[in-house]
């Protein structure tokens, strides 16, 4: 069938049972089909490509041409690089470069949103407008802009001008530093961690990793923190806040997730990537009566728009657009044969998609000037004329639908759930219309019904069974009364496992279950894409501000995890969570060597010496949950609220005991 058949058996030495590769039923089904069709995916390539043992421990340096230098993976201090660089210098420089790249990705995305905002504010763009003026005012007030009695245009102009500093400011502190709890900010100031503009932080970090510049792992890591903070409290936060102002702040919405959202009798268009502007324009294209008519003329019942990965998660949260799957399902979904066009913008877009799309005759379209892919059609997206790009993509998709010649097999699986919990909505949901506040959340943490809060975020990775680590970890956490917040591909993993329904509260421990049932919320709250991790930072700051849970983010009974991470963005996110005071555990692998001073700094010193959070690495989901819970309990104890929880649990037990006695009577 497929034009570009690859003999998978020859290529992949070891054929592994698909059930060992993923717990996603739809992905399993499509992997089997892809194998039958002779189409390769990242799962096959991962089996064929053993990770380099030295590289995975970050024990090599190729920052100059005297090397590349490889250190001894067994004895990290047995050797140094040609320039004399120690293992700690090499590892911290490699780590810093990951932070810089990840932070650059998020901040460049945020910058693109801010540029769009500027053009809207200046009246240069007709297709987008400010949709959430309340959010505009709130964001403006949060950084000290006067809003009372002023026009939307004036406030927006000031906001644009001030937020530009998030990127360009060469001295002083970025605007959103004003949102950081005072004690956390004090710690940053003490150690020189408060970010200036992201451009200068990324530039300085990369400079310091050049041969012969910063050669003290501790000092390099300080700049890694500062750079990462310019992402979390800077670029990512701008991306989220401007996204809300322009496209609306998410509120809970019922959405279907999984490959069953594709429709055999409609033109299927998938948008996969990260920036919401192209996706927003696509929403208006697929609803254009002329284009719908054209689709019908081609024999389709309509046009079906579906998201994947992070822009999918963002559009799902904002507008209820159905979602077909996370990072490790993007090639597999093409094996359905039902995808008429997959259009992409930036980040996490596998180059392998071009070949898979060619095999299934799917139109594979790049749209962003920063991301071309060999073998893809490029239709450039321009904010000033967005529909020119997205209309053309729909026309191409209709053309593909008309000429569909390959068999279609869509896994009949959809998982309904409630998504779209912005921090504003969590505030409202727990506090009520007239007293929107985090007070009830804090109260429930203090009284012990909710043991603590965990962010479980990040990617999927073919080095571990797709979705499995996420699902097991989250189940374990909620069972132990930990409320889980999620973003990105992690959120999709749990949605497919059915945890985004209020009924999933029965999987929670007694205290969390009670809160979920009272409020009518699922035990796991999905808050959007990876840049929306900034919503977690804001929620954490609010919790500190409300009081009763300490003076800084580091005092909160909270933990973070990226159990199936793979991207450099994940490392930047991890570093800004750690620098903000959060205990953060990564799974899969961790780019350091056991027993090195650098690893000790990340896993201990950042907390014990600097009063920040700290990193940890655990591959096993149950052990990961235990460590996160132990950390939460440690914080509860330090706050003196550990006893309250014991009382609540005893109350629940004695209530049950009473009930049992009553029934036996």
Q: What's the closest the beta carbon of residue 151 comes to ligand NFS, in angstroms? A: 35
Q: Is 462 in the site for ligand NFS (CB under 6 A)?
A: no
Is residue 352 within 8 Å of 331, Cβ to Cβ?
yes
Sign of CA dihedral 518, 524, 529, 531: positive
Q: Is 455 in the site for ligand NFS (CB under 6 A)?
A: no
Residue number with CB closer to ligand NFS (59 or 524): 524
Torsion angle of the four alpha carbons 293, 295, 301, 306, in this order, in degrees rounded to the nearest 10: -120
Residue selected from 208, 569, 614, 645 as contacting ligand NFS according to rule CB under 6 A: 569
Residue selected from 309, 343, 516, 588 as contacting ligand NFS according to rule CB under 6 A: 309
Q: What's the closest the beta carbon of residue 545 comes to ligand NFS, in angstroms? A: 28
Contact stretch for ligand NFS (CB under 6 A) within 88-96, 259-267, 566-574, 587-595: 566-574
Residue number with CB closer to ligand NFS (486 or 596): 486
Collapsing DSSP to helix, strand or coil, 60 comes out as strand
Q: What's the closest the beta carbon of residue 457 comes to ligand NFS, in angstroms? A: 7
Residue selected from 488, 511, 523, 581 as contacting ligand NFS according to rule CB under 6 A: 488
Residue number with CB closer to ligand NFS (326 or 415): 326
Is residue 554 within 8 Å of 184, Cβ to Cβ?
yes
Residue selected from 169, 396, 466, 567 as contacting ligand NFS according to rule CB under 6 A: 567
**CB neighbours of residue 32 within 10 Å:** 15
| Of 252, 238, 314, residue with least CA distance to 283 | 314
Residue selected from 117, 160, 176, 327 as contacting ligand NFS according to rule CB under 6 A: 327
Q: Is 330 in the site for ligand NFS (CB under 6 A)?
A: no
Q: Is 464 in the site for ligand NFS (CB under 6 A)?
A: no
Is residue 635 within 8 Å of 558, Cβ to Cβ?
yes
Residue number with CB closer to ligand NFS (175 or 488): 488
Q: Is 458 in the site for ligand NFS (CB under 6 A)?
A: yes
Is residue 368 within 8 Å of 389, Cβ to Cβ?
no
| Of 646, 473, 451, 626, residue with least CA distance to 556 | 451
Residue number with CB closer to ligand NFS (429 or 570): 570
- Residues from 340 through 379 that contact ligand NFS (CB under 6 A): 347-348
Q: Is 530 in the site for ligand NFS (CB under 6 A)?
A: yes
Q: What's the closest the beta carbon of residue 487 comes to ligand NFS, in angstroms? A: 7
Residue number with CB closer to ligand NFS (425 or 565): 565
Q: What's the closest the beta carbon of residue 320 comes to ligand NFS, in angstroms? A: 19
DSSP class of residue 172 equals: S
Q: What's the closest the beta carbon of residue 131 comes to ligand NFS, in angstroms? A: 23
Q: What's the closest the beta carbon of residue 211 comes to ligand NFS, in angstroms? A: 29
Is residue 217 within 8 Å of 601, Cβ to Cβ?
yes
**CB neighbours of residue 149 within 10 Å:** 6
Q: What's the closest the beta carbon of residue 400 comes to ligand NFS, in angstroms? A: 25
Contact stretch for ligand NFS (CB under 6 A) within 128-136, 363-371, 409-417, 563-571: 563-571
Torsion angle of the four alpha carbons 356, 358, 359, 361, in this order, in degrees rounded to the nearest 10: 120
Contact stretch for ligand NFS (CB under 6 A) within 27-35, 205-213, 567-575, 641-649: 567-575
**CB neighbours of residue 297 within 10 Å:** 10
Residue number with CB closer to ligand NFS (442 or 460): 460
Give the N- to C-terminal CA distance of the chain in Å, as an integer. Answer: 70
- Total residue count of the chain as it appears in this document: 665
Q: Is 496 in the site for ligand NFS (CB under 6 A)?
A: no
- Residues from 185 through 224 that contact ligand NFS (CB under 6 A): none
- Token reading at 81: 């690089």
- Residues from 238 through 277 that contact ligand NFS (CB under 6 A): 274
Which DSSP string corresponds to 404-457?
--S--------EEEEE---HHHHHHHHH-STT-SSHHHHHHHHTTSS-EEEEE-
Query: What would the x/- binding string for ligand NFS be over residues 46 to 75, using CB under 6 A?
Result: ------------------------------
Q: What's the closest the beta carbon of residue 231 comes to ligand NFS, in angstroms? A: 11
Q: What's the closest the beta carbon of residue 59 comes to ligand NFS, in angstroms? A: 25
Residue number with CB closer to ligand NFS (445 or 492): 492
Give the contacts of 432 (CB within 8 A, at least 6 positions apart): none
| Of 229, 226, 166, 167, residue with least CA distance to 191 | 226
Q: Is 512 in the site for ligand NFS (CB under 6 A)?
A: no
Distance CA(457)–CA(488), nearest Å, equals: 6
Q: Is 316 in the site for ligand NFS (CB under 6 A)?
A: no
Is residue 372 within 8 Å of 378, Cβ to Cβ?
yes
Q: Is 159 in the site for ligand NFS (CB under 6 A)?
A: no
Is residue 435 within 8 Å of 554, Cβ to Cβ?
no
549 CA to centre of own chain: 26
Is residue 559 within 8 Å of 576, Cβ to Cβ?
no
Q: Residues touching ligand NFS: how many (CB under 6 A)?
A: 14
Which DSSP string corresponds to 313-329?
HHHHHHH---B---GGG
CA-angle at 48, arms to 47 and 53, nearest 5°: 85
Which DSSP string corresponds to 479-520?
HTTEEEEE-HHHHHHHHHTTTTSGGGGGGS-HHHHHHHHHHT
Q: What's the closest the beta carbon of residue 421 comes to ligand NFS, in angstroms? A: 17
Q: What's the closest the beta carbon of residue 532 comes to ligand NFS, in angstroms? A: 9
- Token reading at 216: 């003290």
Contact stretch for ligand NFS (CB under 6 A) within 174-182, 413-421, 565-573, 599-607: 565-573
Q: What's the closest the beta carbon of residue 526 comes to ligand NFS, in angstroms? A: 12
Q: Is 489 in the site for ligand NFS (CB under 6 A)?
A: yes
Q: Is 440 in the site for ligand NFS (CB under 6 A)?
A: no
Residue number with CB closer to ligand NFS (90 or 334): 334
Q: What's the closest the beta carbon of residue 34 comes to ligand NFS, in angstroms? A: 20
Contact stretch for ligand NFS (CB under 6 A) within 57-65, 206-214, 291-299, 562-570: 562-570
| Of 229, 237, 246, residue with least CA distance to 386 | 246
- Token reading at 365: 């379209």
362 CA to centre of own chain: 27
Q: Is 550 in the site for ligand NFS (CB under 6 A)?
A: no
Collapsing DSSP to helix, strand or coil, 541 comes out as helix
Residue selected from 130, 180, 310, 397 as contacting ligand NFS according to rule CB under 6 A: 310
User: What sections of 38-86 are H helices per DSSP?
Assistant: 42-48, 53-56
Interface residues with ligand NFS (CB under 6 A) are 274, 309-310, 327, 347-348, 458-459, 488-489, 530, 567, 569-570
């Amino acid at each position: 069938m497929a034009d570009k058949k690859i003999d998978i058996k020859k290529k992949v030495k070891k054929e592994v049972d698909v059930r060992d590769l993923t717990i996603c039923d739809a992905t399993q089904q499509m992997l089997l089909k892809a194998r039958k069709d002779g189409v390769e995916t990242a799962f096959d390539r991962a089996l064929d490509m053993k990770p380099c043992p030295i590289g995975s421990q970050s024990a090599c340096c190729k920052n100059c041409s005297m090397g590349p230098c490889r250190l001894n993976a067994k004895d990290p201090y047995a050797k140094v690089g040609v320039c004399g660089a120690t293992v700690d210098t090499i590892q911290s420089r490699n780590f810093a470069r990951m932070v810089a790249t990840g932070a650059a990705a998020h901040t460049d995305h945020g910058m693109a949103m801010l540029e769009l905002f500027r053009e809207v504010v200046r009246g240069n763009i007709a297709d987008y407008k400010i949709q959430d003026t309340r959010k505009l005012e709130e964001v403006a007030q949060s950084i000290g802009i006067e809003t009372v009695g002023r026009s939307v245009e004036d406030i927006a102009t000031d906001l644009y001008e001030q937020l530009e500093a998030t990127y360009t400011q060469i001295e002083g502190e970025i605007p959103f530093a004003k949102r950081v709890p005072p004690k956390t900010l004090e710690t940053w100031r003490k150690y020189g961690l408060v970010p200036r503009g992201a451009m200068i932080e990324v530039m300085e970090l990369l400079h310091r990793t050049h041969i012969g510049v910063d050669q003290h792992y501790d000092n390099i890591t300080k700049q890694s923190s500062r750079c990462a903070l310019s992402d979390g409290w800077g670029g990512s936060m701008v991306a989220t806040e401007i996204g809300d102002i322009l496209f609306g702040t998410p509120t809970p919405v019922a959405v279907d997730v999984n490959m069953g959202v594709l429709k055999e009798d409609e033109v299927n268009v998938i948008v996969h990537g990260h920036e919401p502007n192209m996706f927003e324009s696509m929403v208006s294209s697929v609803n254009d009566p002329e284009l719908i008519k054209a689709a019908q003329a081609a024999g389709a019942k309509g046009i079906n728009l579906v998201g994947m990965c992070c822009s999918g998660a963002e559009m799902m949260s904002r507008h209820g657009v159905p979602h077909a799957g996370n990072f490790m399902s993007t090639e597999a979904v093409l094996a359905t044969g039902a995808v008429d066009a997959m259009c992409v913008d930036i980040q996490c877009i596998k180059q392998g998609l071009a070949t898979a799309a060619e095999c299934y005759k799917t139109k594979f379209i790049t749209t962003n000037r920063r991301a071309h892919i060999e073998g893809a059609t490029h239709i450039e997206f321009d904010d000033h004329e967005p529909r020119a790009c997205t209309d053309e993509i729909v026309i191409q998709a209709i053309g593909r639908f008309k000429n569909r010649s390959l068999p279609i097999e869509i896994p009949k699986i959809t998982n309904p759930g409630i998504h779209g919990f912005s921090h504003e909505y969590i505030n409202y949901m727990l506090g009520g219309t007239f007293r929107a506040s985090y007070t009830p959340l804090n109260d429930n943490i203090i009284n012990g019904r909710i043991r603590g809060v965990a962010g479980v975020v990040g990617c999927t990775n073919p080095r571990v069974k797709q979705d499995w680590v996420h699902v097991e970890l989250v189940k374990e956490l909620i069972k132990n009364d930990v409320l889980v917040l999620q973003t990105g591909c992690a959120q999709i993993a749990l949605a497919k496992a059915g945890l985004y329904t209020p009924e999933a509260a029965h999987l929670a421990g007694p205290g969390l279950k009670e809160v979920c049932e009272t409020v009518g919320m699922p035990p796991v709250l999905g808050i959007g894409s990876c840049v929306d991790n900034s919503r977690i930072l804001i929620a954490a700051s609010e919790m500190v501000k409300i009081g009763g849970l300490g003076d800084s983010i580091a005092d909160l009974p909270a933990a973070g995890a990226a159990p199936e991470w793979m991207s450099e963005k994940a490392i930047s996110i991890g570093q800004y969570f750690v620098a903000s005071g959060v205990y953060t555990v990564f799974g899969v692998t961790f780019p350091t060597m056991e027993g090195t001073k650098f690893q000790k700094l990340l896993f201990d010193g950042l907390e014990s010496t600097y009063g920040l959070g700290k990193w940890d690495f655990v591959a096993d989901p149950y052990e990961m949950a235990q460590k996160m819970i132990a950390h939460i309990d440690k914080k509860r104890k330090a706050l003196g609220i550990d006893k309250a929880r014991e009382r609540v649990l005893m109350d629940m037990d004695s209530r049950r005991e009473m009930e049992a006695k009553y029934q036996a009577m």
